[in-house]
Amino acid sequence: MRLYLALPLVLAACDDPGRIRTGPEVFRLQGCVTCHGLDGHGTQMAPDLRGVAKLWTREELVKYITNAPEYIKTNERLKEQKKRYSLNMPVYSALRREELENVADYVLALP
Ligand code: HEC
């Protein structure tokens, strides 16, 4: 096999799949970036996440990311906001606890 073909395999092997991802990594790899935009600045598909630290505790945010559709039912502001977007905030129930906390911390720290 030519070297350039083998390189991605070597790189993939170096990246331990069991490793806990950092907040920015989760944001990118789980597709948050696709809807919420680069650095969480918002797109037509999802709201700007800058300044949401005023609205969320870390614990509530982790709960929300784990099951947004359920959470939205109990929150008038989110229910109203949801009407502006055609896609739903997905359910991230398979993420590990540490990764949920990391991505929540990332969102809460957005400048
Ligand atoms: C398919 C598009 C999509 C993806 C992917 C997505 N979101 Fe969302 N997100 C939304 C939409 C739409 C809303 C607005 C829902 C609402 O306000 O009821 C939302 C709302 C939110 C909110 C609440 C904002 C507020 O006003 O309080 C947070 C926080 C959030 N998303 C974080 C994330 C994170 C973190 C990820 C990745 C783990 C993610 N989202 C992935 C579409 C998406």
Tokens of 69: 């559709």
Beta-sheet strands, E only, within 15-72: none
Q: What is the pLDDT of residues 3-13, one digit of tens each?
A: 666 666 655 55
Assign a CATH topology to domain 22-108: Cytochrome Bc1 Complex; Chain D, domain 2 (1.10.760)
pLDDT at 17: 77
CB distance 95 to ligand 1 below 6 Å:
no
82 lines ligand 1 (CB under 6 A): yes
Cα–Cα distance for residue pair 31/22, rounded to 1 Å: 14
Please indicate whether residue 78, judged by its CB atom, sits closer than 6 Å to ligand 1: yes
Out of 89, 101, 108, mutate this one to test ligand 1's pocket (max ligand atoms within 8 Å of CB): namely 89
pLDDT in tens, 59-83: 999 999 999 999 999 999 999 999 9
What percent of the chain stands above pLDDT 90?
A: 83
Dist. CA 40–CA 20, nearest whole Å: 21
Question: What's this model's pTM, rounded to 2 decimal places?
Answer: 0.90
> Domain coordinates of the chain in residue numbers?
22-108
